[in-house]
C-alpha cells in the first residue's frame, strides 16, 4: 500500500465540487481522504509542498489512439500511458481501430490488462460499434462492457448506415454507454486531404467540405432524438456542427461533443506548403470555425476537450501530402494548448478548463475521477500554469513525434501526476 | 555575374515576382533562335547532369525538357516511374537521396501528388524544376503560355484571358492564374461549377458560367484538357453534353465581336473541349506554344544553373 500523500498549500481547483481555493489535499488508500485548510498529516504520510501550483482532478481524455495491438512502432499502451501522465492525464479512453480492431471481449480484456500492467494512467478500452468496423452488424456490446469497455465507436470510420447507427444507439441504452461517432459523410469527403477552402484551392489538394461533418452531426442528433440514445460526437471542427449541437441540446437530446486542441488552436493556413504535421481528419478548418469551437467550449455546447492523440512513425509523415497519414500526437501538449488558447486570452477560467478536461468527461462517460470529493479516486494533477516549457522532440514520452508544436514554447508545466494516490509522473525525477 | 535571378528551385509561379517572370520570358527570347539554327546547340550547361524524373506519363513535357537540356549541352537521364524503384515501393525521399548521391545538378520532376516538387526541393541540394505536381502547379507550361500571348499581343498587361474547363483539377490553370495576374492581365475562368471551385474568386479571378459570355469578354482562351475520368467521377454527365455546353467551337468563336486566340496545353480531346476546326484554324496558337515550350525550358534551366539574362541575350552566339 502506498503511503498517504498530503499536497500542502496548493490552489485546489475542483469544479465538480465548486472549489477554487488554497487548501491541502490528503490522499489515502487510493482515494481522496480530505480537502481543507491546514490538514494534519498522518505519521507515515509523504508531504509535498505545492504552494503556488494548481491542484486539480487528473485530466481525462476520451479519445486517444494507442496503436496496440498491431502498430507498436507508433505507440504502445505503455508508451501512450506514459505520454498521458506526462501531460497530466490520469485516465485515457483507447479507440478500438487497432490491428486487429477491438470488437470482442478478449480484445477489450487485452487492452485493459496492458493498461493495468503499465501502471500509469488508467486505460479504458472503447469497443467497436460494428464487427471489424465494417459498418455491417453490431459488435457484442454487452460482453465488451463486461470486459471493461466504457463506450463504443468505429472511430476512423464513420457509421454510414443510419440503420446501424440507430440500432447502436438503442442497443447501447441497455448498458448506459455512449456511442461515439466519427462524423463524416464518406462519399463527400472521399480523397480529401485537407479542409475545402482557399488554401486547398491554392495548393491543388482535394478538400473535405465542412458539410461532410455536419451532415452526420445532424443525422446523429436526429437519431438520438428518435432513440433516446447517448450519441457522443467526436472531434468537432466546424461552426455548422456547433450550431447543430447547440440546437440539439436546446431540445434536450442526449448529445455530447468533444473538440481537439488543434481545432481550437490552428486553422488550415497552418498547412502552409504541405506540412504533413498539419494533416488530420477532420482537417484544420477556417478562422470562423476555430472561433466557433472556442466559443462552444466556453459556453458548454462542446462538453469536453479530447486530444485525438494519433501517433505516426516519422517516415510515414515524411511523404507526399496526399499519401501522409492523418493525425498528430496530443497528450503532452493538450493542457498547454488549452492554457495558451483558451485561458490566457480570457475565454474561460482555469476552473472551466478543468471542467472540460476532467470533470465533464468523467461525468458524461461515467468514469472514475474528475472530482476531488471525499472518497473519490485519488487521481490528481499538479501543474504550474505560469511556467513555460519548450516542446523538445527528444523529451516526448510518446513513441511518435508528429506534432505541429515541436520546438515551440508553451505555457503550463505539469509538475506531478498522481493515479490512485501514487505519484506516476514527477517532472523533476524523470527526464 | 549578378545574384541568381531565381532561387534554387522553380516550384511554381505563385511566389515569383513580376520581375522574375518577365526576366524568364526575356531570357527565352534569344533561346528561341537557337532552335532555328542548323546546329541547335549552345554550350551553356556543358558538364551539368540533369535527371528527368517522371512519375506520371508525359510525352510533350518530357520531350520538351529533354530537347531544352540537350540544346544547352547538358547530360540527361530519364527516369520513368514504370522502370524506377518507386514500383518496388521506394519512397520519394529515398529516390531523391539516391539520385543526390550520384552527384547530379538538376532534377526535373513530374509527379501525381500536389506538393511533391517542393517536397523534393526541400530535401536535396540540386536544383528542382517542377514539371507538374498533382493539381498544384505546372510553371513552365504557364510561362510558355505567357510567352505565346506576348508574341501575339506584344504585351500581357491588360489582356483578358479566360481559362476554360476543368479548372479544379488543373495545375496549368493555377500556374496561369498566378503568372497572368503577376503580369497585370485580367483573368477569368469558365466551366461547369462542379469543376470550378468557388474559392478561385478569392484569388482575384472572375467567373463566367456560360462559354458564350467568356468568348465575348476574352482576348484569349486557354482551353484545358477534360480528363475522361471526370465523367466517371460524376462531375459532368457526358462528354457529348460537355461539348454542347462548354465546347470551344467555330460557331461560338464566329459570333464573337472581336478576334481572339485559343491556347491549349495539350494533349487535346478533339470534339470535346475544343473542336478540330478551331484547333487547326486561324484562332489557334497551339503549335507556337509547343515551340515556345522549348525556349522557356532552356531559359529556366539556364537561369537556375546560375546564368544571367544578359549573357543569354548577348553571349550565347559567341562560343
Q: How confident is the model at residue B202 (pLDDT cuts 50, 70, 90)?
A: confident
Residues B123-127: what's their mean pLDDT? 93
Buried b (16+ CB within 10 A) or exposed e, A4-24: bbbbbbbbbbbbbeebbeebb
Please give, one letter per residue, the 3-state secondary structure of B51-95.
EEEECCCCCHHHHHHHHHHHHCCCEEEEEEHHHCHHHHCCCHHHH
Specify which residues A256 forms β-bridges with: A232
Contact A204 B197 (CB under 8 A): no
Q: What is the pLDDT of residue B2?
A: 46
pLDDT of residue B3: 56
pLDDT at A431 over 80: no
Confidence class for position A219, pLDDT limits 50, 70, 90: very high
Q: Is the pLDDT of residue B34 over 50?
A: yes
> Which pLDDT does position A151 carry in this prediction?
98
What pLDDT score does B314 carry? 57
pLDDT at B215 over 70: yes
- Is the separation of the CB atoms in A102 and A128 below 8 Å? yes
Model ipTM value: 0.92
Nearest Cα of chain B lies from the Cα of A204 at a distance, in angstroms, of 4
- A148-157 per-position pLDDT tens digit: 999 999 999 9
Mean of pLDDT values over A391-409:
97
Average pLDDT in the B253-267 region?
A: 92
User: The C-alpha cell of A340 is what?
Assistant: 495558451
pTM of the model: 0.94
- A233: cell is 460526437
Nearest CB among A201, A206, A274 relative to B115 is that of: A274
Higher per-residue pLDDT: A324 or B80: A324
pLDDT band for position B195 (50/70/90)?
A: very high
| pLDDT at B257 (0 to 100) | 83
User: Hey, which residues does A208 pair with through a beta bridge?
Assistant: A195
Average pLDDT score over chain B: 92
Say whether A205 and B197 touch across the interface (CB within 8 A).
Answer: no
For residue A430, the model assigns a pLDDT of 56
Residue B315 has pLDDT above 60, yes or no: no
Q: Which of A9-13, A55-59, B266-270 has the lowest mean pLDDT?
A: B266-270
Q: Residues A303, A308, A315, A323: which is the catalytic one?
A: A308
Of B114, B119, B202, the CB nearest to A205: B114
Beta carbons of B171 and A204 less than 8 Å apart: yes
Is there a contact between B199 and A200 if contact means CB atoms under 8 Å apart? Answer: yes
CB B202 within 8 A of CB A286: no
Does residue A34 carry a catalytic annotation? no
Residue B32, SS3? Answer: helix
* Interval A31-86: pLDDT, tens: 999 999 999 999 999 999 999 999 999 999 999 999 999 999 999 999 999 999 99
pLDDT (mean) for A333-346 = 98
Q: A318-322, A342-346, B198-202, B298-302: which has the minimum mean pLDDT?
A: B198-202
pLDDT band at B92 (very low <50, low <70, confident <90, very high): confident
Tens of pLDDT along A265-274?
999 999 999 9
Query: So which residues of B are the catalytic ones?
Result: 60-61, 88, 110, 138
* pLDDT higher than threshold 70 for residue A88: yes
Dihedral of alpha carbons B179, B180, B184, B187, sign: negative
What 3-state class would DSSP assign to A157? coil
pLDDT at B318: 39
Q: What is the DSSP string of A349-372?
A: -HHHHHIIIIIHHHHHTT-S-S--
pLDDT at A429: 84
* Higher pLDDT pick, A327 / B202: A327
Distance CA B282, CA A161 (A): 56
Local confidence band at B93 (pLDDT 50, 70, 90 cut-offs): confident
| B198 min Cα distance to partner chain A (Å) | 9
Nearest chain B Cα distance for residue A283, angstroms: 17
CA distances from A349 to A36, A334, A345 (A): 22, 16, 10
Weakest-pLDDT range from A203-207, A299-303, A356-360, B96-100: B96-100
Residue B268 · residue B287 · CB < 8 Å: no
Classify residue B301 by burial, with Cβ atoms within 10 Å: 0-12, 13-18, 19+.
Answer: buried
Helix (H, G, I), strand (E, B) or coil at A125: strand
pLDDT at B319: 37
- The per-residue pLDDT for A178 is 98
Greatest Cα pair distance, chain B, in angstroms, is 59
Q: Is B189 left (phi over 0), alpha (psi -120 to 50) or beta?
A: beta
pLDDT at B95: 86
Instruction: Flag if B171 and A273 touch (Cβ within 8 Å).
Output: no
- Distance of residue A415 Cα from the nearest chain B Cα, in angstroms: 39
Q: Is the pLDDT of residue B316 over 60?
A: no
SS3 A202: helix
Once rounded to an integer, what is the mean pLDDT over residues B9-34? Answer: 96
Q: Which residue of A201, A206, A318 is in closest CB contact with B199? A: A201
- pLDDT classification of A1: cutoffs 50, 70, 90: low
DSSP label at residue B225: P
| Mean pLDDT of the region A260-280 | 97
Amino acid at each position: 500500500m502506498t503511503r498517504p500523500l498530503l499536497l500542502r498549500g496548493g490552489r485546489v481547483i475542483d469544479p465538480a465540487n465548486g472549489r477554487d481555493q488554497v487548501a491541502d489535499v490528503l490522499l489515502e488508500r487510493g482515494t481522496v481522504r480530505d480537502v481543507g485548510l491546514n490538514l494534519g498529516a498522518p505519521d507515515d504520510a509523504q508531504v509535498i509542498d505545492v504552494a503556488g501550483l494548481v491542484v486539480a482532478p487528473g485530466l481525462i481524455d476520451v479519445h486517444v489512439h494507442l496503436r496496440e495491438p498491431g502498430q507498436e512502432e507508433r505507440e504502445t499502451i505503455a508508451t501512450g500511458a506514459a505520454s498521458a501522465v506526462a501531460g497530466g492525464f490520469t485516465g485515457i479512453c483507447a479507440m478500438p481501430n487497432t490491428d486487429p480492431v477491438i470488437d470482442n471481449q478478449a480484445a477489450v480484456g487485452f487492452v485493459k490488462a496492458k493498461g493495468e500492467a503499465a501502471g500509469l494512467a488508467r486505460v479504458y478500452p472503447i469497443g467497436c460499434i460494428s464487427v471489424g468496423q465494417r459498418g455491417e452488424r453490431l459488435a457484442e456490446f454487452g460482453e465488451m462492457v463486461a470486459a471493461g469497455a466504457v463506450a463504443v465507436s468505429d472511430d476512423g470510420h464513420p457509421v454510414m448506415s443510419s440503420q446501424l447507427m440507430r440500432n447502436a444507439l438503442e442497443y447501447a441504452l441497455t448498458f448506459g454507454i455512449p456511442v461515439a461517432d466519427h462524423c463524416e459523410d464518406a462519399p463527400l469527403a472521399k480523397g480529401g486531404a485537407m479542409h475545402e477552402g482557399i488554401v486547398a484551392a491554392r495548393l491543388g489538394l482535394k478538400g473535405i467540405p465542412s458539410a461532410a461533418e455536419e451532415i452526420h452531426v445532424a443525422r446523429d442528433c436526429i437519431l438520438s432524438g428518435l432513440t433516446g440514445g447517448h450519441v457522443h460526437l467526436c472531434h468537432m471542427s466546424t461552426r455548422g456542427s456547433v450550431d447543430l449541437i447547440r440546437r440539439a441540446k436546446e431540445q434536450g437530446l442526449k448529445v455530447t461533443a468533444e473538440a481537439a486542441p488543434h481545432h481550437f488552436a490552428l486553422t488550415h493556413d497552418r498547412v502552409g506548403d504541405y506540412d504533413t504535421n498539419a494533416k488530420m481528419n477532420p482537417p484544420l478548418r477556417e478562422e470562423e470555425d476555430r472561433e466557433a469551437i472556442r466559443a462552444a467550449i466556453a459556453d458548454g455546447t462542446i462538453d469536453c476537450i479530447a486530444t485525438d492523440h494519433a501517433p505516426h512513425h516519422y517516415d510515414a509523415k515524411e511523404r507526399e501530402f496526399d499519401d501522409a497519414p492523418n493525425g498528430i500526437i496530443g497528450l503532452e501538449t493538450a493542457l498547454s494548448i488549452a492554457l495558451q488558447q483558451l485561458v490566457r486570452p480570457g475565454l474561460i477560467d482555469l476552473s472551466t478548463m478543468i471542467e472540460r478536461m476532467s470533470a465533464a468527461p468523467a461525468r458524461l462517460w461515467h468514469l472514475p475521477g474528475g472530482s476531488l470529493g471525499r472518497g473519490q479516486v485519488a487521481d490528481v494533477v499538479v501543474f504550474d500554469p505560469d511556467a513555460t516549457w519548450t516542446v523538445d522532440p527528444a523529451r516526448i514520452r510518446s513513441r511518435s513525434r508528429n506534432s505541429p508544436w515541436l520546438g515551440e514554447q508553451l505555457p503550463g508545466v505539469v509538475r506531478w501526476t498522481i493515479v490512485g494516490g501514487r505519484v506516476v509522473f514527477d517532472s523533476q525525477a524523470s527526464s | 555575374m549578378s545574384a541568381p535571378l531565381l532561387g534554387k528551385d522553380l516550384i511554381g509561379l505563385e511566389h515569383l515576382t513580376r520581375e522574375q517572370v518577365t526576366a524568364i520570358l526575356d531570357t527565352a527570347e534569344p533561346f528561341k533562335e537557337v532552335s532555328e539554327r542548323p546546329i541547335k546547340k549552345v554550350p551553356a550547361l556543358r558538364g551539368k547532369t540533369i535527371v528527368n524524373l517522371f512519375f506520371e506519363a508525359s510525352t510533350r513535357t518530357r520531350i520538351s525538357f529533354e530537347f531544352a537540356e540537350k540544346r544547352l549541352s547538358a547530360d540527361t537521364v530519364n527516369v520513368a516511374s514504370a522502370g524506377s524503384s518507386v514500383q518496388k515501393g521506394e519512397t520519394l525521399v529515398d529516390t531523391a537521396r539516391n539520385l543526390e548521391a550520384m552527384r547530379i545538378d538538376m532534377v526535373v520532376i513530374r509527379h501525381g501528388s500536389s506538393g511533391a516538387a517542393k517536397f523534393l526541393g526541400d530535401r536535396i541540394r540540386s536544383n528542382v524544376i517542377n514539371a507538374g505536381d498533382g493539381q498544384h502547379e505546372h510553371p513552365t507550361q504557364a510561362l510558355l503560355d505567357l510567352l505565346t500571348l506576348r508574341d501575339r499581343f506584344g504585351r500581357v498587361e491588360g489582356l483578358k484571358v479566360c481559362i476554360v474547363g476543368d479548372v479544379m483539377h488543373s495545375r496549368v490553370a493555377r500556374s496561369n492564374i498566378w503568372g497572368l495576374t503577376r503580369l497585370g492581365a485580367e483573368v477569368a475562368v469558365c466551366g461547369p461549377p462542379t469543376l470550378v471551385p468557388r474559392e478561385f474568386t478569392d484569388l482575384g479571378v472572375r467567373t463566367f458560367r456560360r462559354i458564350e459570355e467568356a468568348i465575348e469578354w476574352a482576348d484569349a482562351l486557354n482551353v484545358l484538357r477534360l480528363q475522361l475520368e471526370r465523367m466517371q467521377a460524376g462531375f459532368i454527365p457526358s462528354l457529348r453534353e460537355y461539348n454542347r455546353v462548354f465546347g470551344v467551337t467555330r460557331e461560338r468563336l464566329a459570333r464573337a465581336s472581336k478576334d481572339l486566340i485559343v491556347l491549349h496545353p495539350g494533349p487535346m480531346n478533339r470534339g470535346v473541349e475544343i473542336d478540330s476546326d478551331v484547333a487547326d484554324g486561324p484562332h489557334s496558337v497551339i503549335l507556337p506554344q509547343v515551340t515556345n515550350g522549348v525556349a522557356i525550358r532552356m531559359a529556366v534551366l539556364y537561369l537556375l544553373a546560375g546564368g544571367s539574362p544578359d549573357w543569354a541575350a548577348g553571349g550565347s552566339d559567341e562560343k
